[in-house]
Homo-oligomer: A and B are copies of this chain.
Amino acid sequence: MKTIKDVAKAAGVSVATVSRVLNHEKQVSSKTREQVLRVIDEIGYTPNVLGRNLRVRATDRILVLLPSLSNQFYSSVLKGVEAVASAQGYQTMISVTHNDAEVERGYINLLYNRSVDGILLMSSSLPAQEITAIAAERPLVMCSEYNEGARLSTVGVNNFQAAFDAVSYLINAGHRRIAMISSEQTYSGRLRTQGYQAALKQAGLTFRPEYLINTQYSFRSGLEACEILLHLPEAPTAVFAISDVLAAGVMKRLQQAGQIPGRDVDVFGFDNISLADMLTPAVSTVSQPRLEIGKKATELLLGKIADIHSPDQAVVLPHQLVLRQTTRRVVSPAVFPAEKIG
């Protein structure tokens, strides 16, 4: 393995000069620069970035922590992350925690042993105070999910309002028996449940506990929840699920029961992942501005890397209702300004 010293020797200059060429510093004559570059090319030298990292105390690398790779949702968020990261000269890496706190801590430790400059959390299994403590001393930002009570920069949508809007839409379309498939595992899930209840209340509908099913974020959970709903004495006429994958499970079960989503029972999902449009009929859903979430979160993260004491921000980006084939058209459009329905 060649080192900067080999280059210096072969080029007949000092290592300092080679280093200057490598770092594009101006104060080096063009002839020595060319000479050095030629030698670098000749002997096939690649700088060992570990030496540099150790010296400059930075890796120019950020890490994105995902709970799993199987959620399509993160794909576009990541595009936003990469866009601003690479524009600032940072490389993006991803690791998967599988919702395992120990695994997550292992990756977060990379922040302390200087392997990465900052971490973007798309979800976390750690207690809020632990997150707060880490974020206080290292660049750590959360997006799309939020652990209640944690103090750090965050980016996401107004989950309460998003659910409120979706459910209000269903009510406005004439539904009176609306079920929700949610999850208490995440703060966003709890907020969406509150939005659901608030929408019912505002419309003067009474909340029926049997219409609220708390479960996991999975296709199977959607199937099972729908199974329960179908067997209720008075089955709901619409189902609002807090993820498109859950909604897919609902769709599947409905069709197994010979029902057609959008005709017999309306279905509303959340996330607007590609799956929602792949299913037949195409699923109405709540869309989050994923690209923007990724971009904004990365900006905040890079800000923290530049100055760990930059003030925390809680950025809320606008959501949209995407109406497709699993929901009736709304009856009184007045309630929803067209701009909002997108």
Contacts and interface: CB of A to CB of B under 8 A. Distances in A.
Interface of A: 46-51, 53-54, 59, 61, 63, 68-70, 72, 74-75, 78, 82, 91-96, 106-107, 109-110, 112-115, 219, 245, 248-249, 251-252, 255-256, 274-275, 277-280
Contacts of A278: 219, 245, 248-249, 252, 275, 279
Contacts of A219: 274, 277-278
A72 B78 CA distance: 15
Nearest to A245: B278
B275 A114 contact: no
A106 to B, nearest CB: 7
B91 A94 contact: no
Contacts of A47: 113
Stoichiometry (number of copies): 2
A63 B61 CA distance: 13
Would you list the 5 A-B pairs with minimal beta carbon distance, nearest first?
A49-B113, A46-B112, A69-B75, A70-B75, A94-B94
A96 B54 CA distance: 26
A121 to B, nearest CB: 15
Contact of A68 (B53, B75, B255, B279): B75
Contacts of A280: 251-252, 255-256, 279-280
